[in-house]
Amino acid sequence: MHMISEAIQNSLQEISLEIAFIENGSEETSLTLNNGLEQLIKSLDEAKASKSIKVARDMQNEVQHTNQKNKPVNSDMLSNFYLQLEKKIYEELNTEQSSKTSIKPVHEEIESIEKDEEDEIFVLKIEDSDDIDLLTEFCTEGRDLLAEIEQGILVLEENPNHKETLNVIFRAFHTFKGGAGFLGLGNIKDLAHIMESLLDKCRQGELTINHALINSILSGSDKLQQLIANIESSLKRKDNSITFKTKTIQLIEKVSNLLEGIDVDDPERHPEPAQIEEEGPLKEEETSVTKIPDLDVITVTTEQDQEPLVAPKHQEKQQLEEPKARELKSFVKIKTEKLDELIDLVGELVIAKSMVEEHPSVANMNSGDFSLQLRQLSRISTELQRTAMSLRMVPIRNTFRKMNRLVRDLSSTQNKQVQLVLKGEETELDRNIVEALVDPLIHMLRNSIDHGLELAEERESAGKESCGTITLEACHQGGGILIKVEDDGRGIDSEKVLSKARENGIVTDDFNGGQTDALELIFVPGFSTAQSVTDISGRGVGMDVVRENIAKLRGRLSIKSTVGKGTTFCIYLPLTLAIIDGLLIGVGKQRFIMPTLSIKESFKPIPGILTTVKGKKLLANLRGKLIPIIKLSEKLGIQGGIEKTEDGIVLIINSSGQEKGLLVDRLINKQEVVIKAVGDTLKQQPLYSGAAILGDGRAALILDPDQLGKPELKLKSDPYQAKPFN
């Protein structure tokens, strides 16, 4: 009789995790799903499980076929494939149950129950706009509650005796259950009630908090997330009803019975939890008043000032114990569409203000009163802009905390001890940037755990703590935000990176770049191979995609690494995507905007500072460092520019993590610009990331610094011959 090997179990868990990310809207995770399937197929081949291999191959082919068409992977299709695959593996290998537990963990039973039950249908009718508003409000608040629940569960796993955390999670499930019951969402309410009852048994001391119990609560939370996603999908499609599978009810009943049989006292599987010297005081429950007029939902909520329901697990124990002063504030929830409309109007106001200030008739006026009123108008406009932009700013806290679950699950799969430290959670960014950061952070953290951090034995032999540390930090830097992902793992050997790049033909044998240049090669498309995953910590897998995603946010990504000490990725981002600080530059008769976030310095080239290599390549010798110079007029195909390089200005910019010099004719001024989408013709030109209307009413194209540094990209004609806007 065969047993399912640990390798097969780990591969299944990893594949399940990838599918969960895709279900939550991640687009990048499908890139690594194929690798997980390939590893599973190898393990199944060793176990001679031919029938299971066929199902895995079918699933792999479907993923590859979808990727080739550049379409998003269908999460429902993946879930069905996974259920078939798991069932076939259990049937074929006829696994044995461990004698250490009386039954399967509940999170495994949930999956088996769902597969066995009849798939009946329950339909909830949506009668009018009030129903839509209420359901939308429930989904928004429900996701917030489940995020806090998940964070609390992870803290509880570290401190099982901390009753305040247990009470907070219990109250969150209770609030969630009440909202579902009010809307008639019976299956959601009942599942939340089961989780609430389970936690109540823990509060009463009838159940011991251990790994199996934590997994069960997380599985219940995941199921509630899926049910909320079901509602959101129906609302997005503007359906007049929402369809649920009634087998969830049978699942709830069976899980309720299973909870009575969990083996919670096995000392080998569940070591003695760490003790908390003193329990913190209970926080008061938040109160809400909801008013629903004709079509809008306005919720005025009395709550604590954005204080997290539970503290992160790395927080010092005394911080868990100390009560904080309560500061009550009122909030009005506004639909994001209306907020976006406000931002657009503020952008138009900024443009109109610039047009007034730069109008010739205004410039010729000598009236002191008029100038005073104009300055007053400018001040009010600036304050209005700042206030409006702040409404779109949200703390990065929720995005950071989503990574706790990822680190927990992946470290368990990899059998590694990993601590995630979060810093700067209250740092605020544009809402759209925060949402788009999830995929890049997932990818970088996965690489750190999979390939950067060592196993406990390897770390101890190297004189390190057995538990690896990943630090996720956000802070303000200059006019933007710096996000760092740092681990204390084995680091990246730049010599091995360079050797692999030469082997793959990415660089020539005479490449003489330094360590920084060598590390930058991991961002080159096509660098990664299966062998590189083993030799150089797997950092190259999809890192070109990560950098591309960061570039879409008008940010940049750099890397630092020391062998034996660890690796740090630095992400530099603007505060907002709507309005940026830009430097207006001139080339020939045309004007362009360079984002100031990408500019390091500028200088007037003096004789001897610029040199030509092989009669063609122009370099600047800046403080002993040679920097390639890009002539913007040649790059953009513009005639009528300066003839002598000494007559221009050199901007040192960051282009894809490397310093490049940009030779321009003149610097005009620095100003805030409202980003506009470009027309269809210019969308085909990767050198531009957008456009803006200047104070004189003319358009100016915004340059993309990362694309400017690519030698293969060059235009043959003046870009302003195209239509800038649609």
Mean pLDDT over each residue of the chain, to the nearest integer: 75
Question: CATH number for the domain including 68?
Answer: 1.20.120.160
Together in a domain, 20 and 78: yes
Same domain, 646 and 551: no
Residue 528's contacts (CB-CB under 8 Å, 6 or more residues apart) are 522, 538, 540, 541, 542, 543
Residue 217 has pLDDT above 80, yes or no: yes
Domain presence at residue 143: yes
* pLDDT interval class at 541 (50, 70, 90): very low
The Cα–Cα gap between 222 and 146 comes to: 9
Q: Please indicate, yes or no, if residue 298 is contained in any of the structural domains.
A: no
Q: Are residues 194 and 254 in the same domain?
A: yes
Instruction: Write the CATH number for 624.
Output: 2.40.50.180
Mean pLDDT along residues 524-551: 62
508 and 594 share one domain: no
**Which residue has better confidence, 254 or 451?**
451
Arithmetic mean of pLDDT, 342-349: 83
pLDDT computed for residue 709 by the predictor: 80
Establish if 496 belongs to a structural domain. yes
Q: Which of the four pLDDT bands, split at 50, 70 and 90, describes residue 104?
A: very low
Instruction: Kindly report the backbone phi and psi dihedral angles of residue 555, in degrees, each rounded to the nearest multiple of 5, phi listed first.
Output: -115, -175
Indicate whether 274 belongs to any domain: no
Average pLDDT over residues 295-324: 39
625, 538: one domain: no
Q: In this predicted structure, what is the pLDDT of residue 536?
A: 36
The top-scoring range by mean pLDDT among 3-17, 67-81, 321-335, 583-597 is 583-597
Residues 148 and 65 in one domain: yes
Residue 616, pLDDT score:
67
Sign of the Cα pseudo-torsion (439, 440, 441, 447, in order): positive
**Statement to judge: residues 378 and 514 lie in one domain:** no
584 shares a domain with 567: no
Residues 162 and 258 in one domain: yes
**Which range has the worst mean pLDDT, 9-13, 38-42, 337-341?**
9-13
Assess whether pLDDT exceeds 90 at residue 419.
Answer: yes
Retrieve residue 511's tokens: 């490449």
Q: What angle do CA 303, 305, 310 make, to 5 degrees?
A: 85
| Structural domain for 30, as ranges | 6-267
Interacting residues of 675 by C-beta distance below 8 A, sequence separation 6+: 577, 578, 579, 580, 690, 691, 692, 702
Indicate whether 502 belongs to any domain: yes
pLDDT surpasses 70 at 298: no
Tens of pLDDT, residue by residue over 281-290, are 333 333 333 3
Q: Which of 553, 574, 595 is the C-terminal boundary of a domain?
A: 574
Least confident window among 156-165, 169-178, 553-562, 688-697: 688-697
pLDDT(51) > 90: no
What number of other Cβ atoms are within 10 A of residue 256's Cβ?
Answer: 16
Q: Any idea which of 326-340, 600-614, 712-726 has the lowest mean pLDDT?
A: 712-726
**Cβ within 8 Å of residue 369, ≥6 positions away:** none
CATH number at residue 488: 3.30.565.10
Q: Tell me the three state secondary structure of residue 612.
A: strand
Q: What is the mean pLDDT of residues 516-543?
A: 60
288 within domain boundaries: no
β partners of residue 475? 482
H or E segment at 410? helix 397-413
Whether 358 and 398 share a structural domain: no
Give 604's DSSP letter. Answer: P
- Side-chain-side CA neighbours of 11 within 13 Å: the count stands at 21
CA dihedral for 82, 83, 88, 94, sign (positive or negative): positive
Residues 539 and 628 in one domain: no
Residue where one domain finishes, among candidates 531, 550, 574 = 574
Strands 625-631 and 658-664: parallel
Q: Same domain for 526 and 599?
A: no
Residue 259: the pLDDT is: 52
CATH of the domain at 363: 1.10.287
Task: Give yes or no for a contact between 491 and 564, defined as CB atoms under 8 angstroms apart.
Answer: yes
The helix/strand/coil state of 629 is strand
**Does residue 481 belong to any structural domain of this protein?**
yes
Structural domains counted in the chain: 4
- Of 543, 397, 407, 567, give the one whose Cα is nearest residue 473: 397
Residue range 350-402, pLDDT digits in tens: 778 777 877 777 766 766 777 788 888 888 888 888 888 888 888 999 899 88
Tell which of 231, 252, 267 closes a domain. Answer: 267
In a domain, 132, yes or no: yes
